[in-house]
Amino acid sequence: MNTKELEQALHALSYPGLTRTLGELKLISEVKVKENHAKIELSTVSDDSYLTVKNAIAERFGDTFASLDITKKNLAPKDTHYGNSAAPNNRAPYAKNVIAVTSGKGGVGKSTVSVNLAIALAQKGYRVGILDADVYGPNVPRLTNTDLEKIKWNDDNKIVPSENYGIKIMSVALTTPTSDTPLVWRSSVAVSALIQFLEDVAWGELDFMVIDMPPGTGDIQLTMAQELPITAGVIVTTPQLVASDDVSRAIRMFQDIHVPMAGLVENMSYFIAPDTQNRYDIFGTGGGERLAARYNIPLLGQIPIDMEIREGSDNGEPPVALGSETQKSYYKSIVENMLSAIKFRL
């Protein structure tokens, strides 16, 4: 195999886990073959990407040459000059308002709330995008019935977001080969991926960018507050005491990093038995009200445990779009209360 043949083969080689080739991604800088010895220089910014591509090339062409020397070209890295929460950068100037939906712990229905709030905003005529920032447990594609879609690029080399129910959608789940592919990433890699989703996705002009945050109070929450002027934070909790303890920390974090609080949503608030119409407070009562009073933030709404909401969400049929009028009202009233609580740019 000569230089030209190897160069053509490298340009046609797919990047692991993506539908694009190394040539399309412009990752091949220089190729030389001399006396069955090959030298390849890669144009990658991150060390993780370099190792991924290097391993793919070595696996494909390792037995073709007597030696295979794969190096990384020294490139100026993409701007990762982080701002600070008091004076954040704005990596999403196309979005008039940024809403961060978070919780102190997992399993409280934060992603379901995020998706339905985004759709409810779109139903009011706003241009809305949702960014799934929960990179280790991305659920937004399933909840929006876009989980079988894969990442695509337009002619300007921008990632094309998925669209459904009137909103634009971007999630790391759209980049993985299969739905159960784990992302074993250090936090620095996860943060870099989210910054790319902010800067390299063809979002268009948005009235609202809704960010479905991961649970907790870690790197991603801090980075989003540093890289975006967050207009409002929405906290999701359940009534139980354990959830309230964790959510208290999330509220304090948002307050400490100067994120305005639109309010709190109490999910799985109660259960109405379909046969008797009796109410059961399975996870306790008053957790959301106590938190709202303690931290002087609005209680935006309470959403009950509802089998049809769960089933519809699992099937990618958001209740605010395809549920009953009662189910729709839960999320629509939360949006109305949120719009009243915070002065948004509209």
Listed as own residue / partner, the contacts of 14-22 with beta carbons closer than 8 Å and 24 or more positions apart are 15/52, 15/53, 15/56, 16/52, 16/53, 16/55, 16/56, 17/175, 17/176, 17/177, 17/181, 18/151, 18/175, 19/150, 19/151, 19/152, 20/153, 22/53
**pLDDT value of residue 45:** 62
CA distance 170 to 144: 11
List of domains in the chain: 3-72 (3.30.300.130), 95-341 (3.40.50.300)
Q: List helix spans (H) across 38-94.
A: 47-61
**Contacts (Cβ under 8 Å, ≥6 apart) of 240:** 283, 284, 287
Q: Which residue has the higher pLDDT, 254 or 203?
A: 203
CA distance 287 to 240: 6
pLDDT in tens, 35-60: 999 999 998 766 778 898 999 999 99
Mean pLDDT is lowest, of 57-71, 82-96, 221-235, 284-298, for 82-96
**pLDDT value of residue 218:** 81
Q: Is the pLDDT of residue 333 over 90?
A: yes
Residue 327 CB neighbours (<10 A):
21
pLDDT in tens, 105-135: 888 999 999 999 999 999 999 999 999 999 8
| Angle between the N-to-C axes of helices 325-341 and 110-123, in degrees from 0 to 180, rounded to the nearest 10 | 80
Residues recorded for the chain: 346
CA distance 228 to 237: 24
Quick one: average pLDDT of 311-334?
96
CA distances for 32 relative to 22, 220, 324, angstroms: 16, 41, 64
Quick one: average pLDDT of 93-104?
94
Question: Amino acid identity of 62?
Answer: G
CA distance 153 to 219: 28
Q: Which residue has the higher pLDDT, 183 or 212?
A: 212
**pLDDT value of residue 151:** 83
- Give the confidence band of 81 by pLDDT, cuts at 50, 70, 90: low
Partnered with residue 26 across adjacent β-strands are: none
Q: How big is the CA angle at 113 (ends 333 and 203), to the nearest 5 degrees?
A: 100
Q: How big is the CA angle at 216 (ends 214 and 218), to the nearest 5 degrees?
A: 90
Cα–chain center distance at 160: 15
Quick one: average pLDDT of 217-222?
84
Quick one: average pLDDT of 170-196?
83
pLDDT in tens, 252-267: 988 888 889 999 999 9
Q: Is the pTM of this model over 0.85?
A: no
Q: How big is the CA angle at 105 (ends 270 and 254), to the nearest 5 degrees?
A: 105
**Contacts (Cβ under 8 Å, ≥6 apart) of 19:** 150, 151, 152
